[in-house]
Structure 1
């Protein structure tokens, strides 16, 4: 098994003195293991070594999921089994200027009062805290519980692949506790389904004549965040802001697009975007571009205010590209990016304050002519209503068709229908009331949980999803609450004890 590298931050360490000590020790180890989606080999080896060192039964399926069976405590061996589930992969995001990189197992970690924070990258508390909680509770000698099935799934963040391809024979428990939610005291009993759509704008870049000048337009400084759980916050989308800026430029001076790029995760709101342009010969072309960028930045600051205090846009002159889209195709591409829906499309009619349907313009990439040329535009849509989901995907496909795009739809997954009166929901809510003196908040989430796929694979399974406070998942600055993690460990332990009584 790969050995995690030594820490590179403070001498005392941000985890010093935290309780439960073993839980935080496991999490510290986990933060030093590279585990981006689709590259989970190192973290799976870590899980395997942990299970084997304790003599626990370990099963693997073809996609790479792991299931570890833990015997029940003395006197509770015959209790019904309970499955606990978390995914081992994480979203690896970093500020462009940072020397830290989660893909290399290098995360700067700090303690800020009651929070563990990764100021320059993602932390991986989503869903690393769930992973180590399962291990911690399985190791505990003073927590009575029945037989446990610990399910470690892969590749959740880029399409729920592990859950979608899970071998259903691995799980036998009639109840599943998903540990992938991020609000203290909340019980999630339903989730959105989703689908990704890519519009391939396939146009060849053509020769740029002498006299044209080059300029790079960039958008940066945005907050980003989870495209499901934080889409309702109306944060800036760098690709939409870039498209509006290019429209402003086009009003003032002709240009051609060499490349556009922005975003790198389908489930993250893009924070940065860039376009490389060539400008038609004109003595004041650059001045007009600068005016357009300044106007666009002023409009963005006026609209977003305190939601995006660090938004920035720049125009930097440079050498012109040798080839670019022609002017009509450049205008058509800007119109396409402008027309693509982004943000909340509809609110739930049954749960106040819950987003029902949304679309996130997530990733844009430009291929070289050698690779076929063209620009790929990927959007991620979510909805708890199947018909609304189909309409969101159809809208994207129709807009793409009008622009002459090749259309690809993929990674569709179903939702999880709420069952507020289920046995495990009532039991978990009761344990929260008994331990903490307050009721749990029972709701659903506008994000894809693996529970949606488990509901299809295991008809009739009783499920709930919960977890500690995690802020800013999928973006640099991700943090996890120390006291709520300790509280959640008590809550989860209490649920397991009561279920096996």
Structure 2
């Protein structure tokens, strides 16, 4: 399969994307990927520097005759979301990504692909190598830990980047030019578990919701995909009216910016209620299949026998937890009045864990309106406090305010129209791009974000369209030639 990938066009871009996918680079573990970038820079005798958190910046002098043009920064992030299907055997700490070509797309074999944002890194590396490309003075900014906290961008120092024109290649729709993004924050809920002894005549089962698509909690939040945690809470709330049961453990979700695909609870039920449990699970599965038939028809609700525990959650604790979880908002809160079709405010019920004696929940809020982020986060805080949870709020990042008068935007629009005969779609995105943070740190930075067609980012369904990569590459090179 490597030969097939390496034969794709543009050759240098796919070569570097393939080589990057041989290197483990989950968020927080980008050291080897950063060193790979440095090795390429040194091979072609380019200046580079690395900051304490692992961000790498490479500089390349302008082509002949382009020395007086403004310096341009190509920006992308080194890390990737590491998700795999339950039945996929893959160790993200050491195994390369297995890439496949299907129907004009490159995808991975049961894992995320890493095109978000490896394709930006690959394009940057290709420009670093290819001296035939006409370009102004260049900087290539490769950041770390974008996916879990935008940490690399947050930790950038004011003197790390010199250029004031930035091309972020971290968008996923060819023909779209993004000039704004949402800001956001996290709201975390923790509560000490109140344990009690279990009844000897009870049976223990794993109740599981699976088979959902998941997806990006910003880009896909408006599509109405099922949230496994929320659906599980609905089952648990409904079961309370059918028979008395105890909770033993509850888990779901793994990333703050991914809609949970799976969630499960271990429950302890009276022996004479086992049939009711199984019947109820089947009924809920059919209800969910009916409700989600257009977006998540593959949902499954399963019941599997488990070894019995020594202790269980108390009834009062169960009721407080399930009440908060069932009432927890998730999804679109408001649509934008400024930009048609744009989600303005949303929240993602992202993670729930049973950690020793603590129930831990993480929710993620986004909005293009700063006050609305605070509002929905505080509503979640109020809900959690009603249930006796301790609340932490943080992880905030700023929105990127659109500038429709941007000189860079005009150049990019003109090139697109001349090249393709129609106007590009100028948009804002309901996700946190590093541009918001970079723009706040570097005064006067003129920025735009674009990229090739990518579908299913942050899930094992992730795929990137082959001909779109070539189109965006050609478009990028033309921008570099025309920026003045």
TM-score using structure 1 length: 0.95
Matched, 1:345 2:345: no
Moved more, 491-500 or 221-230: 491-500
Superposed, 1:476-495 pairs within 5 Å as: 476-495=460-479
Q: Deviations over 1:203-226 (max 9, x none)?
A: 232222322210110010000000
Superposed, 1:249-398 pairs within 5 Å as: 249-279=239-269, 281-283=270-272, 285-368=273-356, 373-398=357-382
Matched, 1:20 2:4: no
SS at match of 1:252: coil
Matched, 1:469 2:461: no
Query: Residue 256 of structure 1: CA displacement?
Result: 1.0
Residue aligning to 1:7: none
Tell me the distance in 1 between the aligned counterparts of 2:192 and 2:248: 13
Query: Residue 459 of structure 1: CA displacement?
Result: 2.2
Contact 2:6 2:15 survives alignment (8 Å): no
Query: Residue 13 of structure 1: CA displacement?
Result: 4.1
Residue aligning to 2:180: 190
SS at match of 2:147: coil
Query: Residue 298 of structure 1: CA displacement?
Result: 1.2
Residue aligning to 2:38: 48
RMSD of aligned alpha carbons: 1.2
Matched, 1:68 2:58: yes
Query: Residue 306 of structure 1: CA displacement?
Result: 2.7
Unpaired segments of 5 or more residues in structure 2? none
Contact 1:153 1:163 survives alignment (8 Å): yes
Query: Residue 141 of structure 1: CA displacement?
Result: 2.5
- Determine which of 406, 413, 436 is the counterpart of 1:429: 413
Q: Deviations over 1:177-206 (max 9, x none)?
A: 111111001000000001011100222322
**After TM superposition, which residue ranges in structure 1, 4 or more long, deviate above 6 angstroms?**
none
Residue aligning to 1:99: 89
Tell me the distance in 2 between the aligned counterparts of 1:106 and 1:150: 24
- Determine which of 351, 367, 389 is the counterpart of 1:405: 389
Residue aligning to 1:118: 108
SS at match of 1:336: helix
Equivalent pairs, count:
484
Matched, 1:203 2:193: yes
Contact 1:286 1:317 survives alignment (8 Å): no
Contact 2:365 2:376 survives alignment (8 Å): yes
- Determine which of 212, 218, 227 is the counterpart of 1:222: 212
Tell me the distance in 2 between the aligned counterparts of 1:258 and 1:481: 44
Q: Deviations over 1:52-89 (max 9, x none)?
A: 11111111112111110010001112321111100000
Contact 2:6 2:18 survives alignment (8 Å): no
Unpaired segments of 5 or more residues in structure 1? 1-9
